[in-house]
Amino acid sequence: MENVITNNALPQNKRKKSIRLGRIFIYLTLIIYSLFLMVPFYTIVISAFTDHAELDSALKFIWWPETFSLQGFKNLIEFDVMYYEVGIPSMAVGFINTLWITCLPTVVGLFVSGLAAYVYAKIKLPGKHILFAIEMATMMIPLGSMQVVSYLFYNSILGWNDTPLPLIIPGMFGSASLIFFLRTYFEGINNEILEAARIDGKSVFGIYFSIMIPLAIPAFVAQFIFGFVGGYNDYVGPMLYLTGNKMMVTLQLAVANLQNSFSKYPETICASAVVSMIPLIIIYCFAQKLFINGIAVGGGKE
């Protein structure tokens, strides 16, 4: 009898031990990965606050500076070329430009895509299945490789070079992935509400505006975030079309340009990167769920 009990107890102990070891392994991996993600942030933040002279004379990375300084951040204003010329630092100009260059196509594109999605989901229209198939087929063609050669079209045929139009106008026509996503969402909306509104004499547009949009706000918000983050972080588009127009710099372009003008001032470059990230990080802290859902949903075209 005694034997049986000890025999039973042993594996259980072992099992508990292995579970505990498993937990330790999990935490260790998660923490190491966290460090891998966070340490690069630390390096630019701490260097941004390091005194220029100390940084310049140091022969290796400074984990903790002896003299803290805000000069790196001040340089972004005081020694900015655009601040001399027009009185506004280039990062501020970039931030304002980024806001409207990003929001305009995102909002209009969402509105237009939503309208099309509403028709696909709820309105009788002959041949709409064919149109929808065409619309979905466009999603399957990967056009990432064409972004450079498209330059010729915008530059020579449309003459939109050095204007933000190539970044704004195409987005305003909506996109297949937006239509696909919003259509799925709209299909879940009860037909009876729509019928009632129809009987009340509301037009297609009126129903879209007063019923569909309010009911689908979460879907629109998720997609807006996806579009906004994409536009805010975009570098290639502004680099192709806006490098020749100083007053039209976007935030990312401004930060990228500062790397050349402050090449001897690493603390200023680090400061510019930190400042450029702050707005999104702050919003992210307050609305992580919205962000994560928005980007998962917006990227997931399945």
Write out the binding residues for other proteins, residues 207-236 only, by CB under 8 A. Answer: 229, 232-233, 235-236
- The reply on whether position 288 binds other proteins by CB under 8 A is yes
Q: By C-alpha distance, which of 138, 118, 250 is closest to 194?
A: 118
- The reply on whether position 115 binds other proteins by CB under 8 A is yes
- The reply on whether position 157 binds other proteins by CB under 8 A is yes
Among 72, 89, 174, 227, binds other proteins (CB under 8 A): 174
- Evaluated on CA atoms 157, 162, 166, 169, the torsion sign reads negative
**25 vs 100 by CB, closer to other proteins:** 25
DSSP state of 157: I
Among 52, 79, 103, 128, binds other proteins (CB under 8 A): 128
Q: Which residues pair with 140 in a beta bridge?
A: none
- Give residues 2-21 in contact with other proteins (rule: CB under 8 A): none
Residues touching other proteins: how many (CB under 8 A)? 104
The whole-angstrom separation of Cα 75 and Cα 90 is 12
Burial 244-272 (b: 16+ CB within 10 A, else e): eebebbbbbbbbbbbeebbeebbbbbbbb
Do 273 and 255 meet the contact criterion of CB atoms below 8 Å apart?
yes
CB atoms near residue 50 (< 10 Å)? 23
**1 vs 164 by CB, closer to other proteins:** 164
DSSP state of 68: B
Q: Contact region for other proteins (CB under 8 A) — 65-73, 111-119, 184-192, 212-220?
A: 111-119
- The reply on whether position 69 binds other proteins by CB under 8 A is no
Q: How far is the CB of 267 from other proteins (least distance, A)?
A: 10
Q: Contact region for other proteins (CB under 8 A) — 2-10, 66-74, 76-84, 148-156?
A: 148-156
The whole-angstrom separation of Cα 214 and Cα 180 is 18
The whole-angstrom separation of Cα 82 and Cα 247 is 9
- The reply on whether position 146 binds other proteins by CB under 8 A is yes
- The reply on whether position 282 binds other proteins by CB under 8 A is no
